Structure 1
Amino acid sequence: MDFSKPVPSNPEYEELDEYLVPADRTEEAIRRAQAAIAEYRKLHGEQAFRSARSRGQYTRPGGLFYGGSEPTEARRTLEQIAADLDVAARDGVIIIDYHTGLGPYGYGELQCEQPSGLKGYERAATIFGPSVTLPDLGTSSSVNLHGTQDEYWQRILGDRHTYVALEYGTYTNPKILSDEHWLFRYRPEAVDSELGRQIRSATKRHFYPQKSDWNEMVLWRAHLVHRQALEGLRSGG
């Protein structure tokens, strides 16, 4: 995100925030929150709900997918590495950005992002094949997001780069992020309590299934994608 410019708005998230991360965790309060979310989905549709929830927001610290107000340490580190290696001067760069949490269990979906546009998607499909997805085409398990890493690569490399997010599916449990955000937002003093450790452990298991089948699926797909990327670089793709 270029924080020198106005950040994107997400008024739809603001409408949902109190239900996505409810302060009250009693059964009755959670039922009310779930009912409000169900009503929003009914009125606006599933895609609109997913976009409101996930595309990023800059007004509710402690809420889901809060984008902050300045570059993070991780971003500054990435930019320093890119500067040290003079990545912006390269003729061709392929970026594989690893993520977990979306899509079928163990499957590594190769997602393109909006900043590279259709041309970026076509470059990726040439290298990695027709399994590459793009939200604008309705083929991705993700929605269009604010502040993706691809915005950075597009800014410094333009059409000399090919970006894919390698997204490995895990489980489907919408409460996981809500629980962890509730902990840090409303009960930060309990982060290291028994309850806090239970919540954080559940989040870790959700995004990193410690199962041999999942690990093997991740490794197999990664080896394939790495081989395709190297072949693409050798061929000038």
Structure 2
Amino acid sequence: MNAARWFSASYGEARARFLRAAARNDIAVQSHLLATHRGLEDEQLATDVVRLGPPNAKRLLVTTSATHGVEGFCGSAAQLALLYDKPLQALLRKLDVAILIVHAINPYGFSHLSRTTEDNIDLNRNSVDFGQPLPRNEAYDLLDNFLVPEDWPPSRANERAIERYIADRGEIAYQQAVTAGQYTHAEGMCFGGRRKAWSTQVLQSLFTQFGSNCQRIGWIDIHAGLGPYGHGEKICFGKAGTEEVQRARDWWGADVICPGEGTPAESTAWGRVCDTLRTACPHAETAAIAIEFGTVPLVDMLHMLRADTWLRRHPDAPESQQHALRDEIRAAFCCEEEGWMGLTLGQSRGAILQAVYGLSRTGERSH
């Protein structure tokens, strides 16, 4: 399989190919335009949505790409391949299941090769109740000045401060402090926002529109950057011991990880995007997973998140430096090697097929 042919070089190219594929296959597209901003190449930004399968299907699988912007390349490739996947589309008709493809839910981040939205919001930390007191990440408060230094690359003294933190507390504690989310430093890392982001509002409206009449809804949110190289780790953020977690394992297998059970693969975090499905469609049986495709070692990935945030804070940095840093950030979340691309596409299609079969079952436990 020539996996590289499904991967695009930029958000603009990915969107153009997605729209072209939909047109060639006579698939209607619903586009949500982010009218307040433009892309890195001054292109229009939008979240594009298509629905495959029987029009009256009561069982729906949702796939999303680019929740974390620059991570969108592998998710976009998997979604583009879906539009040409005739055997899978025939299976949808046979099993009476529909698929909603949400391409580039964070188009600004995808285009600008950033993990966050146009407002520097980490979309996967934004689904909290902003009418209530917001969580406080005191560990992040201690690290903020070290994480985003005034100059880039960081000085040796800055690197030693980070190294001491990891030596004293461990790599997992460092990851937790950085990525759990925070709501006090608007220009910092993993900022959850102070209101619902545009992308969160789009997701809520899509779930209401397409899920209001559905009895069962599954969701695969495709990410990159965490875990062993090329491995797709399936993570369910439902509460440990609930029917949702068991349903996720019935559909996707016993290797589904639930952080609430104490596994170290993914840190605890606030405001997960999957909460939008639970709140928008409380009537439906739901199961949602993030599938994380590993790229580079954890500390290297977090270093690129620091670089991303530094770029946000320094829009007047030399153009050559901005270009070089964006290339490095992209490389940390989308590997150019053919084998990695093939692994992400194959595992994405496998997870989609698992969900389709899981949704089609009438409630009996799988064996």
1:129 aligns with 2:253: yes
**CA displacement, residues 199-224 of structure 1 (integer Å, 9 cap, x when unaligned):** 11111121111221111101110111
Q: CA deviation at 1:103?
A: 0.4
Partner residue in 2 for 1:178: 306
Q: 1:63 aligns with which of 174, 184, 188?
A: 188
Partner residue in 1 for 2:358: 232
Q: How many angstroms apart in 2 are the aligned matches of 1:142 and 1:216?
A: 24
Partner residue in 1 for 2:129: 2
**CA displacement, residues 145-195 of structure 1 (integer Å, 9 cap, x when unaligned):** 11111222222345711010011111121321111211211x11237x111
Relative to 1, partners in 2 of residues 1:136 and 1:83: Cα closer, same or farther, differing over 3 Å?
closer
Q: How many angstroms apart in 2 are the aligned matches of 1:140 and 1:236?
A: 33
Identical pairs, percent: 29
Q: Which runs of 5+ in 1 are unaligned?
A: none
Q: 1:204 aligns with which of 312, 316, 330?
A: 330
Q: 1:216 aligns with which of 342, 349, 356?
A: 342
Partner residue in 2 for 1:165: 290
Q: How many angstroms apart in 1 are the aligned matches of 2:312 and 2:262?
A: 34
Q: CA deviation at 1:89?
A: 4.1
1:75 aligns with 2:200: yes
Higher fraction of helix = 1
Does the 8 Å contact 1:96/1:163 carry over to 2? yes
Q: How many angstroms apart in 2 are the aligned matches of 1:190 and 1:25?
A: 10
Q: How many angstroms apart in 1 are the aligned matches of 2:209 and 2:277?
A: 15
Does the 8 Å contact 1:82/1:88 carry over to 2? yes
Q: CA deviation at 1:9?
A: 0.7
Partner residue in 2 for 1:23: 150
TM-score (norm 2): 0.59
Does the 8 Å contact 1:22/1:33 carry over to 2? yes
Partner residue in 1 for 2:241: 118
Q: How many angstroms apart in 2 are the aligned matches of 1:102 and 1:88?
A: 33
Does the 8 Å contact 2:248/2:287 carry over to 1? yes
Higher fraction of strand = 2
Q: How many angstroms apart in 1 are the aligned matches of 2:340 and 2:138?
A: 37
Q: What residue identity is the alignment partner of 2:341?
A: N
**CA displacement, residues 50-99 of structure 1 (integer Å, 9 cap, x when unaligned):** 211110011112211111111112111111211221x1442111110111
Relative to 1, partners in 2 of residues 1:25 and 1:189: Cα closer, same or farther, differing over 3 Å?
closer
What SS does the corresponding residue of 2:288 show, helix, strand or coil? Answer: strand
Relative to 1, partners in 2 of residues 1:147 and 1:203: Cα closer, same or farther, differing over 3 Å?
same
Cα RMSD for the two superposed structures: 1.9
Higher relative contact order by CA 8 Å / sep ≥ 6: 1 or 2?
1
Q: Which runs of 5+ in 2 are unaligned?
A: 1-127
Does the 8 Å contact 2:234/2:255 carry over to 1? yes
